[in-house]
Amino acid sequence: MSTRDTRNQFVHSYTGIKTDSKGNFEASNDPCLEEQRLYVRCKSDLVNYDQCGELAVNVKHCRKFWRKVQGDRRKKGIYPTVPDLKDRPKIIEEYRDILEKIQRQNTYSCVVQ
């Protein structure tokens, strides 16, 4: 069951996940949404998918980073586990060592929002 809030968004009553009227997730739910959109755009624009490899690795690193952050916040009892958009730069600085470790695992860099 979902309810509509004042900004024409739907909020799932149990999970609290917000979607727009078309069912698309918001950036507040997915910290790697922009990276994912860039990758999907690359795949749809190109015939040669190998050129999108760097973007694919970037999405993978981004998701891995935020999963670690979410797990740590869950262990500490901090909710929501996905920080607000305005808090993300502070969280990135706080977990800088994890981000650098993930980046060293491959030659591509991880661009985090």
Residue 19, CA atoms < 13 Å, CB-side half-sphere:
11
Residue 21's pLDDT band, with cuts at 50, 70 and 90, is low
Is residue 77 pLDDT above 50, yes or no?
A: yes
Neighbour count for residue 64 (Cβ, 10 Å) = 17
pLDDT of residue 74: 93
Mean pLDDT over all residues of the chain? 78
pTM: 0.69
Higher pLDDT: 82 or 12? It is 82
Averaged pLDDT, 18-23: 60
Of 15, 16, 112, the residue nearest 65 (C-alpha) = 112
- Model confidence at 35: pLDDT above 50: yes
